[in-house]
């Protein structure tokens, strides 16, 4: 099920990294969201064991490692990881990068991480409950799970017209209308999964996570990449001001 997503990210990794220009100054949470240096959701990460799931180009883990965290980072896409490994070498930080699927975290021991972090990757999960239950298992007692992704309200709006384009109640797999072939003749489409806010909250609560914060921030002055080129079509400023594109959850393992 994750193969189509892996193929998409392998085919687009280079372009994504070029157009996003994600900074290493602090971990980011996504379009028009403040960075971790402002939100301070994780606290001091020095000597903390952090697992980043869906690390992409590794910028967030690099930012954590520069602050003294011990980072492991997984991603499905070999091409994203290639970029991440190169970037961490350039920045002289050691990160344990692994190619893997966050739907399956069996490789990690129970109660072994202080923090599990994810920026803009869990919208590619076909089963958030499966991910959450494994994250709960691998976190230490009182461990933190902090993640961001597309705000479910933002996803239902047509960016050009600012009109509702589909039902909020339509959840599950969504795919782009257009497709193309990669160099291995794989048909590539942009695929993601839609959840309602209540689906996300209830999946965390059912795992016994304590949800400490839900943030719906709007930072119009932050990263400039979102205001340029192709991104500006997906994140038109006039729409962003009406419905923020990013939602962030901070949850804690209580027992």
State the residues that interact with ligand SAM by CB under 6 A.
2, 5, 9, 22, 54-57, 60, 74-77, 80, 101-103, 119-121, 124
Closer of 25 and 164 to ligand SAM (Cβ): 25
Q: Give the integer Cα–Cα distance in Å for 32 and 28.
A: 10
Torsion angle of alpha carbons 166, 222, 51, 102, nearest 10°?
Answer: 20
Task: Determine the longest span between alpha carbons in the chain, in angstroms.
Answer: 48
Q: Which long-range contacts (CB under 8 A, 24 or more apart) does 230-238 make?
A: 230/19, 231/19, 231/20, 231/31, 233/159, 234/159, 235/31, 235/32, 235/159, 236/159, 236/160, 238/162
Q: In the 8-state DSSP scheme, what is residue 157?
A: B
| Burial of residue 96, with CB atoms counted within 10 A of its CB: 0-12 exposed, 13-18 middle, 19 or more buried | exposed
Give the distance from CA 192 to its chain's centroid. Answer: 12
89 burial level (CB within 10 Å; 0-12, 13-18, 19+): exposed
Q: Which is nearer to ligand SAM, 207 or 246 (CB)?
A: 246
Q: What is the nearest approach in angstroms of ligand SAM to the Cβ of residue 254?
A: 26
Are the CB atoms for 209 and 136 separated by under 8 Å?
yes
Measured from the CB atom, the residue of 99 and 254 that comes closer to ligand SAM is: 99
Angle, helix 78-90 to helix 3-20, in steps of 10 degrees: 40
- Nearest CB to ligand SAM, comparing residues 83 and 255: 83
**Cβ closer to ligand SAM: 224 or 255?**
224
Least distance (Å) between residue 197 CB and ligand SAM: 20
| Structure-block tokens of residue 185 | 């003749």
Nearer to ligand SAM, 63 or 240 (CB): 63
Closest residue to ligand SAM in the complex (CB): 56
User: 193 forms bridges with which residues in the sheet?
Assistant: 173
- Residue 26 CB, nearest distance to ligand SAM (Å)? 12
91 or 169: whose CB is closer to ligand SAM?
Answer: 91
Decide: helix, strand or coil at residue 6: helix
């Amino acid at each position: 099920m994750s193969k189509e997503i892996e193929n998409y990210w392998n085919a687009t990794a280079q372009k994504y990294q070029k157009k996003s220009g994600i900074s290493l100054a602090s971990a980011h949470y996504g379009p028009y969201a403040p960075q971790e240096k402002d939100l301070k959701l994780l606290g001091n990460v020095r000597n903390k064991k952090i697992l980043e799931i869906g690390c992409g180009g590794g910028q967030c883990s690099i930012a954590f490692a520069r602050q003294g965290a011990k980072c492991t980072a997984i991603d499905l896409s070999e091409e994203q990881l290639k970029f991440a490994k190169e970037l961490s070498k350039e920045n002289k930080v050691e990160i344990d990068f692994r190619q893997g699927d966050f739907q399956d975290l069996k490789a990690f021991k129970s109660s072994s991480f202080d923090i599990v972090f994810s920026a803009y990757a869990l919208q590619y999960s076909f089963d958030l409950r499966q991910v959450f239950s494994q994250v709960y298992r691998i976190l230490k007692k009182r461990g933190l799970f902090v993640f961001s992704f597309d705000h479910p309200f933002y996803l239902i709006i047509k960016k050009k017209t600012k009109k509702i384009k589909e039902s909020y109640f339509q959840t599950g797999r969504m795919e782009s209308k257009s497709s193309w072939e990669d160099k291995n003749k794989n048909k590539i489409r942009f695929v993601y999964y839609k959840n309602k806010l209540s689906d996300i909250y209830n999946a965390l609560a059912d795992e016994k996570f304590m949800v400490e914060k839900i943030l719906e921030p709007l930072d119009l002055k932050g990263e400039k990449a979102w205001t340029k080129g192709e991104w500006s079509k997906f994140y038109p400023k006039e729409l962003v001001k009406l419905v923020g594109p990013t939602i962030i959850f901070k949850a804690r393992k209580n027992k």
